[in-house]
Structure formats: structure tokens, C-alpha cells
């Protein structure tokens, strides 16, 4: 043993436990856990890998210590190879003075910052492994100690309770929301859509009373916008009436990712949905589509020099299509694209789909990624 935890370390542990236990929103809880753990043991980098339903790979990877640019440069987040995979198979604390010396070390991907010392601790929720805490590079170039491990294990125990509480709170909120779904759907159909139809009919009648081509063009554009709005509202109504597949909402994940990307882009992309996208995709397809969108927006931020971007997700005839368009410098017709485009194309082909990057008129580029939905 390296001695006993001092008063300062115990105060920090108490602060960390209170920090992760005082929140009921699960994504916020996960972020707080990683932040509290890195501060508790003076680590430069921290991450929390959340296991997928099979318990054999990582579905989420929450980080501390990496900037948005660094995360974007690394590209696809870890799935659970190397030492991360070792912790998945053997969920017990692991301390290493040097990551590279472990026999299962798989190295780092391009653009990943170097890391040396390592401390990994599993997080259990109701005796089941929820994920793993990963802490790297203790301050001052030192190695993690026995006390660091004990403090992190204690925090991980509190984190398991906090995660369980957040999950239960989310389920209660969903039940409350479910009771209002039918009422909201009826209001949208009986009130909002009917009023939009009435406005559209009025505009069509007005268009017949004028011979001014400019005014006619504007009226036609307004009618088209109303038709688009009606389709989007019908999509929402269908989602409200339909049972959602297990897992998170694709619609919510896309909106959150676009909001997050706004920091690196300098603007927030415009997002549109068409069809019942939440009820037609499973967790695996959500994961792939979100990863492709993250890569596409990162490419826009790094290379496009764009001032705006549009993201659309459409469900038509059993196929889900993601389109990311920007007004930047564009790409040459037939250009192969970089490693990121190659990764997105590989994902599409594995799912029986296709991916295309093409110039956009009058300027910019458009990425189209389309795959069939599960039966």
C-alpha cells in the first residue's frame, strides 16, 4: 500500500460523490463522473466507455481532457480493442505505469495525443457492468497509486448508484410523457394541420387572382413551404402514435450532435426530418448514422470554409437517407475524398447501402449516405 488517503483526498472524494449524485439527466451524470474522476486522482485525461447491449463493445465514449478539435481529428471513437477490450473481458481495476508495455496494447489511432500511465475501473449498475472508467497521465509524470485506485473504485460505486437513479428517473419521465402523446398528436392533426391546409388553400386562391409573375412565384414558394411543414408534422404525429424501438431517439441524437458541432463550425446546421425516423431504425443503425454525421460535420469544419450547412434525415421506401450539404469551397466532381469519406462509404456498404460526395450548386458540397432500414 502507498499509505492512507489524507483529509484533502477524502474531501475531494466526498465532493466527487456529491457531484455525480446530484443530477438526474443521464448524459450529464456520465460527463460529471468522468470530470470528477480525473480531478480526484489528478489525471490529465479521462473517459467513460459505456457498453452496448451485448456487453462486448463500447456504444458510447464520454471524454474529458480532449478539445473538440482533437476529438474531431481522431475520428471514430473507440469500440473496445486493446486494453479497453481487456477491461471489457476482465472487469476489474487495472493500473499500468506505461500503456504501451501491456501485452494487449493496440496503440493509438492517428492524431491521438500520447498517453502513458493508466488506471481503469469498471462501473457496476445492479451487479451488471455498465461501462469502464479510463484515466490517463497522472499529473507530474507520476504513476497512479494504490490510493488512487481505491478512491476511484469508491467513486465508481457511487457512480453506479447515480446512473441507476438517472435511468429510473428517465423511465418515469417517459411514462408521464407517454400519457400526453395521444393528446398532442390529436391537437397537431385536428388543429395545426387543418389550419395550415386552410392557409394553403387561401394562398392558392390568391395566386389565381394575380398575373404578376413575381408575386405568383412567391405564393407558390410559400405553398411549397406549407406542404413541407405539413409533411414534417405528419411525421411527428406518426412518431407519437407508434411504439419506439429500443434505445435512444435518432431525431434527438441528430439534433444534439448538430448543436454540439455548432461550436467548431461557428454556426448551427439547419436540420430537417422526413418520415418516422425514430420508429424505423434500430440501435445499430442509429449508431452508424450518428457516426457518419459526426464525421461529415467534422469534415465541413476542417475543410469546407462554409458559412452554413443543412442536415436532412429522410425515410422513404424502406431506406434511411442522410444528406449533409454546405456552402463551402466544394469538391471536384469525382474526387475520391479522404479517409473520412472512405470510412463513411465502408459503413454504408456493410449495411447494404451507398455513400456519395459530390459538388453542390452554386457552391459547396453535398454528402448523401443511404442504407436500407431493418425489417
* Residue 366, in any domain of the structure: yes
Q: What is the mean pLDDT of residues 276-303?
A: 85
CATH code where residue 317 lies: 3.30.565.10
162 in the same domain as 28: yes
Report pLDDT digits (tens) over 8-35.
Answer: 777 777 777 776 766 667 888 899 999 9
Residue 1 has pLDDT above 70, yes or no: no
Q: What is the pTM of this model?
A: 0.50
Report pLDDT digits (tens) over 211-253.
Answer: 888 877 888 888 877 777 777 676 666 666 554 444 457 888 8
Of 231-240, 276-285, 332-341, which has the strongest mean pLDDT? Answer: 276-285
CATH code where residue 63 lies: 3.30.450.40
* Residue 215, in any domain of the structure: no
255 in the same domain as 122: no
143 in the same domain as 288: no
User: For the residues of 325-372, what is the DSSP string, one character each?
Assistant: EE-SS---TT----HHHHHHHHHHHHTT-EEEEEE-SSSSEEEEEEEE
Question: Structurally, how many domains does the chain consist of?
Answer: 2
User: Residue 46's pLDDT is what?
Assistant: 95
Show which of 105, 135, 170 is a domain's final residue.
170
Residue 307 has pLDDT above 70, yes or no: yes
In what helix (H) or strand (E) does residue 205 lie, and over which residues does it extend?
helix 194-207
137 in the same domain as 256: no
Three-state SS for 20?
A: helix
371 in the same domain as 253: yes
Q: What is the mean pLDDT of residues 35-58?
A: 90
* Residue 239, in any domain of the structure: no
Q: What is the mean pLDDT of residues 256-263?
A: 85
* Alpha-carbon separation of residue 88 from 16, 115, 319 (angstroms): 24, 20, 34
Show which of 170, 200, 224 is a domain's final residue.
170
The 3-state secondary structure of 181-204 reads HHHHHHHHHHHHHHHHHHHHHHHH
- 143 and 2 in contact (C-beta within 8 Å)? no
Show which of 170, 186, 209 is a domain's final residue.
170
Q: Count CB-CB contacts under 10 A for residue 119.
A: 24
Tell me the Ramachandran region of residue 22: left when phi exceeds 0, alpha when psi lies from -120 to 50, beta otherwise.
alpha
* Residue 200, in any domain of the structure: no
* Residue 295, in any domain of the structure: yes
Residue 338 sits in which domain range? Answer: 244-375
* Residue 176, in any domain of the structure: no
More confident residue, 151 or 249: 151
Strands, E assignment, the chain: 43-51, 58-64, 94-96, 118-125, 128-138, 270-274, 309-316, 319-326, 354-359, 365-372
* Residue 332, in any domain of the structure: yes
Within 8 A by CB and 6+ apart from 181, the residues are 240, 241
Report pLDDT digits (tens) over 118-128.
Answer: 999 999 988 88
253 in the same domain as 154: no
Amino acid at each position: 500500500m502507498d499509505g492512507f488517503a489524507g483529509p484533502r483526498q477524502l474531501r475531494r472524494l466526498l465532493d466527487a460523490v456529491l457531484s455525480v449524485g446530484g443530477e438526474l439527466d443521464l448524459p450529464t451524470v456520465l460527463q460529471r463522473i468522468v470530470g470528477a474522476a480525473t480531478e480526484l486522482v489528478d489525471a490529465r485525461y479521462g473517459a467513460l466507455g459505456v457498453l452496448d447491449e451485448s456487453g462486448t463493445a463500447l456504444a458510447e465514449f464520454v471524454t474529458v481532457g480532449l478539445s473538440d478539435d482533437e476529438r474531431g481529428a481522431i475520428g471514430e471513437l473507440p469500440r473496445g480493442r486493446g486494453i479497453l477490450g481487456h477491461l471489457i473481458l476482465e472487469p476489474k481495476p487495472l493500473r499500468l505505469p506505461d500503456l504501451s508495455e501491456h501485452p494487449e496494447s493496440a496503440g493509438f489511432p492517428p492524431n491521438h495525443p500520447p498517453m502513458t500511465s493508466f488506471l481503469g475501473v469498471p462501473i457496476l449498475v445492479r451487479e451488471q457492468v455498465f461501462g469502464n472508467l479510463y484515466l490517463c497521465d497522472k499529473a507530474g509524470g507520476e504513476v497512479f497509486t494504490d490510493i488512487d485506485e481505491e478512491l476511484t473504485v469508491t467513486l465508481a460505486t457511487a457512480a453506479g448508484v447515480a446512473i441507476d437513479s438517472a435511468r429510473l428517473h428517465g423511465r418515469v419521465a417517459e411514462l408521464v410523457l407517454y400519457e400526453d402523446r395521444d393528446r398532442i398528436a390529436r391537437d397537431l392533426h385536428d388543429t395545426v394541420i387543418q389550419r395550415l391546409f386552410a392557409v394553403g388553400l387561401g394562398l392558392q386562391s390568391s395566386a389565381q387572382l394575380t398575373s404578376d409573375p413575381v408575386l405568383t412565384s412567391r405564393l407558390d414558394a410559400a405553398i411549397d413551404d406549407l406542404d413541407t411543414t405539413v409533411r414534417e408534422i405528419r411525421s411527428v404525429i406518426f412518431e407519437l402514435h407508434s411504439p419506439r424501438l429500443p434505445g435512444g431517439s435518432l431525431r434527438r441524437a441528430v439534433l444534439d450532435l448538430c448543436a454540439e458541432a455548432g461550436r467548431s463550425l461557428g454556426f448551427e446546421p439547419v436540420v430537417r426530418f422526413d418520415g418516422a425516423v425514430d420508429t424505423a431504425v434500430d440501435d445499430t443503425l442509429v449508431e452508424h448514422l450518428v457516426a457518419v454525421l459526426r464525421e461529415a460535420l467534422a469534415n465541413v469544419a476542417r475543410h469546407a470554409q462554409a458559412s452554413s450547412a443543412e442536415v436532412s434525415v429522410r425515410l422513404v421506401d424502406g431506406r434511411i437517407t442522410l444528406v449533409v450539404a454546405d456552402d463551402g469551397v466544394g469538391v471536384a466532381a469525382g474526387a475520391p475524398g479522404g479517409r473520412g469519406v472512405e470510412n463513411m462509404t465502408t459503413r454504408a456498404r456493410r449495411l447494404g447501402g451507398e455513400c456519395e460526395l459530390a459538388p453542390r450548386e452554386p457552391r459547396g458540397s453535398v454528402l448523401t449516405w443511404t442504407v436500407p432500414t431493418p425489417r
